[in-house]
Amino acid sequence: MLPYTKGDYVNWPDLNIKDWPTTYYGTNFTKLREVKTSYDPYDVFRFPQSIPPLGKKKKEEQ
Q: For 13-48, what is each residue's pLDDT tens digit? A: 788 889 999 988 999 999 999 999 999 999 999 988
Q: Are 42 and 59 in contact (CB under 8 A)?
A: yes
Q: Where are the domains of the chain?
A: 1-62
Backbone angles phi, psi at 25, to 5 degrees: -120, -15
pLDDT category, 61, cuts 50, 70, 90?
very low
Cα distance between residue 22 and residue 48, in whole Å: 15
